[in-house]
Amino acid sequence: MSVIAVVGAQWGDEGKGRVVDYLAEDAELVIRYGGGNNAGHTVVNPHGHFKLHLIPSGIFHPGTRNLLGNGVVINPPALVAELDGLRGAGFDGDNLFISDRAHLVMPYHVLLDQLEERERGAGKLGTTSRGIGPAYVDKVARRGLRVIDLVEPETFRARLAAALPRIRRVVAGYPGAADEMADEIDAATDEARIADAYLAAGTRLARHVVDGQGLVDESLERGERILLEGQLGTMRDLDWGIYPYVTSSSPIPGGASLGAGLPAVAIDQVLGVAKAYTTAVGAGPLPTELEDADGELLRDRGQEYGTSTGRARRCGWYDAVAVRFSVRLAGYSSIALTKVDVLDAFDRILVARAYRDPADGREWTTVPASTSVYERLEPVYEELPGWQADTTACRTWAELPAAARAYVERLEELASVPISHVSVGPERAQMIVR
């Protein structure tokens, strides 16, 4: 039996989808355990180029079952649209399963996400506007609607009717929005319209809905290989990320056990996914961010534009402090280092091994709780030589240029964890296993 959690070690977009698609060839079950359609997992494989938001990245292997775990928040019409897109590409989605305990993202969650961001003004978090935060708020407040309600129309209607008066009161508390967003507000609080759209989506999704824990339990009993697919990364974890610039779920392995529905001790390995440099979408501190030609070159070569929102990703050098922080929280067995090929063009590469506080000269080797302290910390860099050679055709560790191997080995030292996989391109064949 082996259960491997695949977890983002940075700010998200490390290449988790790519790694899961690659590993899923040998897995019977892939489970998304948190987040919702804020995720954008791009998978490039022999079938094409796919952008997944909710659907787990094992979907392209017909013999692999894919479960949306109880910890995920699901926008049913968005899921139906994603399934339709896959169907258009020749995948019937018969290997998709949805936990009956997963919570729903409602139209008013999307609206509230937008209203809250508007009110934050200059302090906005830069969310994906997919309603993720408000959906988790309702889950914790014990007034959420779940997948199981979607297949019990009477329960769905009753819970929706119970929720809307409160939502209308909350929305009325944003008077500035009443005129500008009148149409969105009407649509997101229209009981009949929501019920029609959601129950129609529920009818479409009903054949995929299962007792998620039962499915996982059977799979464990049979000794199958299971992958737990993370969303986002440690630095956006609700508890451990750069609060408040975080998401509303737990990308780290603690969240995997809870959100997939299996015992924590069943997780045999945790594979951290880290990019060979740093990117982030959304606001908050990013100590190694580059607003110069190097940053542009990273964005350009790495095609660093958000999969979900199209926003240009903020780019910078590799931050070994952030990854080490993630190592301590996630307990990686090893790390998959992606996008090494993006660095092919650089004559020298910087790595932040620590931060320094200009206020008092203190050196930091962990991530501070205080966002205002973190904002002012400056990276302490070490410089490594670039290799200025094309790595995209390398298929073995030995084929990589010596300077590229030295770079990987230095990151390995700084993380105190072996780097087991080195990715030199988005395709399955471009994964070097050491």
Residues near ligand GDP (CB under 6 A): 8, 12-18, 40-42, 44, 307, 338-339, 341-342, 423-426
Helix (H, G, I), strand (E, B) or coil at 43: strand
Q: Which of 13, 21, 100, 319 is catalytic?
A: 13
Question: Site for ligand IMO (CB under 6 A): which residue of 9, 98, 216, 232?
Answer: 232
Which is catalytic among the residues 41, 103, 109, 421? 41
Does 132 help bind ligand IMO (rule: CB under 6 A)? yes
Q: Compare residues 233 and 253 and give the one whose CB is closer to Mg ion.
A: 233
* 365, 324 Cβ separation under 8 angstroms: yes
Alpha helices in 228-380 (DSSP H): 253-260, 293-302, 320-330, 371-376
Tell which positions 159-198 bind ligand IMO, by CB under 6 A: none
13 binds Mg ion per the rule CB under 5 A: yes
Name the DSSP letter for residue 343: G
Closest to ligand IMO by CB, 173 or 310: 310
Name the one range near ligand IMO by CB under 6 A: 98-106, 125-133, 208-216, 410-418: 125-133
- Residue with Cβ nearer ligand IMO (38 or 234): 38
Q: Tell me which residue has tokens 């995948």.
A: 91
- For the bound state, the minimum distance from the C-beta of residue 172 to ligand IMO, rounded and expressed in Å, comes to 23
Residue 64 contacts which entry, ligand IMO, ligand GDP, Mg ion, none (Cβ below 5-8 A, type-dependent): none
Which residue number is nearest to ligand IMO in terms of Cβ? 282
Q: Are 11 and 286 in contact (CB under 8 A)?
A: yes
Interface with Mg ion includes 40 (CB under 5 A)? Answer: yes
- To 10 degrees, the CA torsion angle through 97, 151, 130, 324? -40
CA dist., res. 373 & res. 293, Å (int): 27
DSSP element (H, E) containing 278? strand 278-280
Judged by CB under 6 A, does residue 128 bind ligand IMO?
A: yes
Between 9 and 290, CB nearer to ligand IMO: 9
To the query of whether residue 13 is one of the catalytic residues in this protein, the response is yes
Sequence-separated (6 or more) residues with CB below 8 Å from residue 419: 334, 335, 336, 337, 408, 411, 412, 434
Is residue 125 part of the contact set for ligand IMO (CB under 6 A)? yes
Give the integer Cα–Cα distance in Å for 340 and 394: 11
- What residue has token string 């609080």? 189
Contact between 16 and 57 under an 8 Å Cβ cutoff? The reply is: yes
Task: Note whether 31 binds ligand IMO by CB under 6 A.
Answer: no
Sequence letter at residue 113: D
The structure tokens 């610039």 sit at 245
Which residue shows structure tokens 């996008």? 339
In the bound complex, what is the minimum distance in angstroms from residue 235's beta carbon to ligand GDP? 13
Residue 38 near ligand IMO by CB under 6 A: yes
Residues that bind ligand IMO (CB under 6 A): 8, 12-13, 38-41, 125-128, 130, 132-133, 231-232, 236, 245, 247-248, 281-282, 307
List interacting residues with Mg ion (CB under 5 A). Answer: 13, 40, 307
